[in-house]
Amino acid sequence: MSAYDGNGNQRSLLVPSTDGWDDAAKDASDRLIQGQILLFADWRYTAGKERESVALGRRLIARSTLHYWRRWEGGKIVQHILRQPGKKLPERDALGYDDRNEWDIGLDGEPQDPWQETRSILFEDPSTAELYTFVTTSGGGRSAVVTLGDQIWRVRAVHADAVPLVELQAAEMKTQHGPKSKPVFRVVQWLTTDGTPVGERSVSAKEAKRLADDREMGDEIPF
């Protein structure tokens, strides 16, 4: 597309490829936390440094996930060890920093293991493209990520580029300390990566499961 300036010279209206936004987006994509951090505790989702409440039922697209260890020292995160594609996350015993006398003291007055197993999901608002990174170290939170990952794995046996639109929900979870809450990511719709709704299954649910199981035999589930 083109137009003319005040002197009659033709100029392009196309977005220039050298305007710097592509580079800025690449810098942002290299961060572990993109957009606002999204947390869950006590039946509530909160976002950002101010911990603003995020309503249950909020719908977001789950774009990607990470699995990693993070190490705390002096109240700050000082190191990350990411799971590599096709491999398992290293075991805690292989990470070092085992001397309890050198561990930080937690709120309960006891030494706290500096390593935390962590999972995250990069969410995108379907209307504004605003990003949120859900981060969890709890057993219930990590289980919610794995459950969503299993759904994605099976749907992609039929629709390879499918991504889920999910609702942020919560559910009760039994623990040794009594009932607690856990996050739930309820899939409400499947989309292609460009946001187009995925069509009806081209094979039966039984066949889709078989295809997914065949893939699982040949390659480790990536979550």
* Residue 120 forms part of a structural domain: yes
The domain of 149 spans 35-218
pLDDT tens for 38-58 read: 999 999 999 999 999 999 999
Residue-level pLDDT at 212: 58
Amino acid making up residue 127: S
Q: Name the more confident of 12 and 103.
A: 103
* Residue 13 forms part of a structural domain: no
8 Å CB contact between 173 and 65: no
* Residue 21 forms part of a structural domain: no
* Residue 14 forms part of a structural domain: no
pLDDT tens for 133-183 read: 999 999 999 999 999 999 999 999 999 999 999 999 999 998 888 899 999
pLDDT at 210 over 90: no
Q: pLDDT grade, residue 29 (50/70/90)?
A: low
* Residue 58 forms part of a structural domain: yes
What are the residues whose beta carbons fall under 8 Å from the beta carbon of 137, sequence distance 6 or more?
116, 117, 118, 119
Looking up tokens 């994605």 gives: 152
Alpha helices in the chain (DSSP H): 21-29, 139-155, 205-218
* Residue 200 forms part of a structural domain: yes
Residue-level pLDDT at 26: 63
* Residue 91 forms part of a structural domain: yes
Residue-level pLDDT at 13: 43
Q: What is the total count of domains within the chain?
A: 1
pLDDT tens for 79-92 read: 999 999 889 999 99
Task: State the Cα–Cα distance between residues 44 and 14, nearest whole angstrom.
Answer: 44
8 Å CB contact between 35 and 128: no
- CA 117 to chain CA mean position, Å: 14
Task: State the Cα–Cα distance between residues 48 and 46, nearest whole angstrom.
Answer: 7
Task: State the Cα–Cα distance between residues 173 and 142, nearest whole angstrom.
Answer: 13
pTM of the entire predicted model:
0.78
pLDDT at 21 over 90: no
* Residue 213 forms part of a structural domain: yes
